[in-house]
Amino acid sequence: MERIYLDNNATTPPIPAAAEAVARALGAWGNPSSPHASGRRARALLSGAREAVAALLGAPPAEVFFTSGGTEADNLAVAGGARAAVAAGAARRVVTTAVEHPAVEEACALLAEEGFEVVRVGVDGEGLLDPGALARAAAPDTALVACILAQNETGAVFPVAEAFAAVRSRAPLARLHVDAVQAFGKVPFTPAGLGADTVAVSAHKIHGPKGIGALWCRAGRRPLPFARGGSQEGGVRTGTENVPGAAGFGAAAAAALAEAAARRERLARVGAILEEGLLSLPGARRNGPPAASRLPGTLNVSFDGVRGDLLLLALDDAGIEVSTGSACASGAAVPSRILTAMGLPPERARGAVRFSAGALTGEAEAAAAVAVAASVLARLRDSLSPPSGA
């Protein structure tokens, strides 16, 4: 069976250039901190990768620090950033949104266990954020404000630059963090343009390898590190660097930068096919904002009377791979925390399925997925209908 992969917000298949870069770098087995020839070879690969990731971010390479992924980058920025701000005189207060990825949400929960006050700002029924809400929730001595740039389940893109400009004038001590893992390579932004102090990104969301991410840090606003024991990555993230992972990340970032406009156009076309086709099916309801305020190629949809987990399994049997929400919450029996925060009824939230395209998704695949979904939905509804005369 030819399969169609539409779960790119969870992870993306690596492009050949990234896989080849990883394979080549495995031969550069030296420690990049060593001064001899093998170490210098590994260090050169690491530097080249840093430059490529920085170029896609639109930032200086010296401000980019490799991590094990977006989750570590978010945890480091949120917990380490808040602690650094308190050390500089801020109060133990953190402001974030009610629809953050678990990497930020659980880092905030950790801070709450340490005695921080955590304020979560809500969103509207389409999952969009009022840019002034973060500033209104931030007291002048707030330690940290964290805001996702593109929500991973609904695709909602938040007006972070506008929100952070208001926060900065009201809470000058606050560290401003952006989880840009889902937005990286899909919507144009720069850390400076967002007004951020830290920005988290990841390789496997842009067709690179898993197990490697990065944290951009504004000069003079680095978070306190979690681990001790070395000076790697400027002391922000100690431990011998993952050179093969970084090399793959660099290759994926270079391709994303070179193909940026073409990828956005392709994602927009594929997304339009998915939206037009899926929302035309009986009982379909979009969960999230219109396409203009959403990541291209991402659509969260519920179908009246059909459970999302059953639909996912039926689609998988038919060769279509999608998600019922955040990959980090897959298998959960409770309604999505994100959709619940939007005010969706539990049954609709439990029925949600996310279709997410990537740079490798074709228009024909999107059209075929819609046709299969229509057939699968009809079969599911038939199977759930009571027998005639019952």
Catalytic residues: 328
Helices (H), 177-321: 191-194, 243-258, 260-278, 308-317
CA-CA distance, 324 to 314, in Å (whole number)? 12
From the CB of residue 369, how many other CB atoms can be counted at a distance below 10 Å? 27
Strand partners, 301: 286, 353
Strand partners, 67: 213
CA–CA dist 129, 122 (Å, integer): 7
Give the three-state DSSP class for 106.
helix
Residues 205 and 220: their CA atoms lie apart, in Å, by 28
Reading the block at residue 133, the tokens are 């809400």
Beta bridge partners of 300: 354
Instruction: Order the strands of the 298-303 sheet from edge to edge.
Output: 284-286, 298-303, 352-356
Q: Residue 117: which of 65, 82, 84, 87 has the closest Cα?
A: 82
Which residues, including other chains, have CB under 8 Å from residue 186's CB and lie 6 or more apart?
150, 263, 264, 267, 295, 296, 297
| H/E element, 58 | none
- CA quadruple 118, 226, 167, 182: dihedral positive or negative? negative
Residue 148 pairs with which residues in a beta bridge? 179
Task: Please provide the DSSP assignment of 228-258 as one string.
Answer: -S--GGGGTS-S---HHHHHHHHHHHHHHHH
Cβ-contact 138, 127 below 8 angstroms: no
